[in-house]
Structure 1
Amino acid sequence: MGSPLFGDIDVGMAMTAILACMASTLGALLLTLRPKDSKGGGSTWLACSKANPAKRAWEVFNLRYAVFWVGCFAAIIGFSLYEDFDEVSYMVVCFGLSLPIVAFPLVSVHPSEEGLAVGQRCGVRANVWIAIYSFIGNYWYTHYFYCVLGAKYTFPSWRLNDVPIPLIAATVFYFSLYHALSNMAIRKVVTSFEATTSRTVTLVVLVGVMSYAVAFTETLTISGFPYYEFEDRDMAYVVGSAFYGIYFIVSFPMFYAFDEWPQEDENKLADRRAGNSARGLWGAAVDSLGASMLILCLLDFVRLAVGSEFYMKG
């Protein structure tokens, strides 16, 4: 039976067609690019071990840690453990799983950052960036899902501005993984191909494809959790994924630029040691706030376009 939005069209077929079209477009664009020579470090997925060793360490940690927290969530949903959860349980699980990400750059100082102030460490500033984004995303953006998609959370939870507080912590580890992965994909294209108009177009399409795919994957993987509801789940998969993807269209390239120095530039760390860098905690906060404001504007533009009313109740 089809969704009211798509009539008799099966939502699975619709999603397959959308994702296949995106993948084929991206693949065709990649074929038009001119490979770089091997000078300057060559093609790479992870941040450069010479120019950006601390950023590389942050990305590697989040990739490895994801195996644990994804496994925990899979067990919680797969075995319906959430049925026994109360307000305290959700707080303990979500804040407990976010704690290692917060603690990692505080207790494990990368050798390249020894002697730097805590606020100058890449991992600490990256976490501040993600934490601010996560808070704003829950405090503000969630209400657009309430209004436009008819979403609601029905599990027992303490709330802030009608948003379950544990979700703020959960967003930290979700977004840390997403942005570590998006960094890798963007960097692979940047370091593999010559800077041309075609590469710029490819990067734009890549960000769009990743944004939609990540949003859809998250929506699909939590579909087994019955206490996150939509008025029309099929619409949430197809249209909601595009709506959620607006977050990442902005944040993926913005976060990639965070401390992303050219592989041949190994002087940036020395600048930070000398106190010549403005990329302290304040710089990270300003960047995150700027990206978050742009996302908020885009979400509201979409709301106006579809004619939905916006309301917040605390």
Structure 2
Amino acid sequence: MSRWFSPNPDKAWVEKWFLIYSPLWMASMAMMMFTGWDKSFGDAALLWHGILTALPAILVPMLVARRYEQCDWRDSYWLKANLYMVVFGFFGNYFGSEYFFDVLGMVYNYPNATTNLDSAMVGSGEQPVPLIMYFYTHAYFITYHATANIVLRRIRTSGVPGMALLFPVVIFAVGYFWAWMETKAMANPMMASSFYYKDIPRMLAYGSAIYATYFIASFPIYYFIDEQRERRWTLLQVVAGGLSASMLTFYLLDIAAHWVGQL
């Protein structure tokens, strides 16, 4: 039977919450950027905004979804989904950002965000990664992965022939869609004082495809976390999955850097 949501009710409820929350965090980010207060507030205020942007993805399921759970909270899907995203999102910022700085000319301009965290050995080191980006990434990636789960599930349960070939095609399509959407949303004149690309044509030509490597590596791993209630993942398996997706992305980013070359 074709279905959009998981047969595991614990997972289905959390995915629905992630979808409900998505326009809320998007509105919060848009308000911050368009009003310009990301430039007028200090580091502490920005960190609080980042924390409050990511926190509902954790707190609401923790407080509400347990009504729907038929397991101990340490075995709950909301915990595993967020744990996976912490692992994968950390890699994306700590290591992955360096490729976007040096290969695609991405620039963060947040002089008031003084708390930074990024790799010491990967990349040129010319730009730091503001700590707030780790919290924003958590919200972004929760939405991207939840929508990917829903589309992939619909395809897998539809009975369409040739699933072995169709599944990776859909993974790439959904990954490229979100990569393109984020690139399009971020690379606009209204945000140029905070975020821009040194070479817009280069970014438009290669950037979305390179960013999509994150999701090509991650979506098929994340999809199977607790997809069946009787086949739950352990927390160790979730962490291993996040680390595996991170390493695969590392390889793909470096291969892309050979293809595109540095600025």
**Does structure 2 retain, via aligned residues, the 8 Å contact 1:230–1:236?**
yes
Q: What's the TM-score, normalizing by structure 2?
A: 0.88
Gaps of 5+ in 1: 1-41, 272-276, 310-314
Deviations 1:20-65 (A, max 9, x none): xxxxxxxxxxxxxxxxxxxxxx2111112xxx01110110111111
Q: 141, 165, 175: which one pairs with 1:175?
A: 141
3-state SS of 1:45 partner = coil
How far did residue 86 of structure 1 move?
Answer: 2.4
The runs of at least 4 aligned residues of structure 1 exceeding 6 Å deviation read none
Map of 1:202 onto structure 2? 166
CA distance in 1, matches of 2:165, 2:144: 22
Alignment of 1:297-312 (within 5 A): 297-308=251-262
How far did residue 115 of structure 1 move?
Answer: 5.0
Map of 2:247 onto structure 1? 293
Alignment of 1:121-200 (within 5 A): 121-155=76-110, 156-157=112-113, 158-161=115-118, 162-194=128-160, 196=161, 198-200=162-164
Alignment of 1:111-130 (within 5 A): 111-114=67-70, 116=72, 118-130=73-85
Residue 4 of structure 2 corresponds to residue 45 of structure 1: yes
CA distance in 1, matches of 2:85, 2:199: 30
Map of 1:87 onto structure 2? 43
Q: Which moved more, 1:299-308 or 1:284-293?
A: 299-308
How far did residue 140 of structure 1 move?
Answer: 0.4
Instruction: Count the aligned residue pairs.
Output: 249
How far did residue 207 of structure 1 move?
Answer: 1.2
**Does structure 2 retain, via aligned residues, the 8 Å contact 1:122–1:259?**
yes
How far did residue 114 of structure 1 move?
Answer: 4.5
3-state SS of 2:55 partner = helix
How far did residue 109 of structure 1 move?
Answer: 4.2
Sequence identity, in percent? 28
Map of 1:21 onto structure 2? none
Map of 1:6 onto structure 2? none
CA distance in 1, matches of 2:178, 2:201: 17
**Does structure 2 retain, via aligned residues, the 8 Å contact 1:57–1:110?**
no
**Does structure 1 retain, via aligned residues, the 8 Å contact 2:84–2:242?**
yes
Q: CA RMSD in A?
A: 1.8
Q: What's the TM-score, normalizing by structure 1?
A: 0.75
Greater Rg by CA? 1
CA distance in 1, matches of 2:62, 2:236: 17
**Does structure 2 retain, via aligned residues, the 8 Å contact 1:119–1:280?**
no
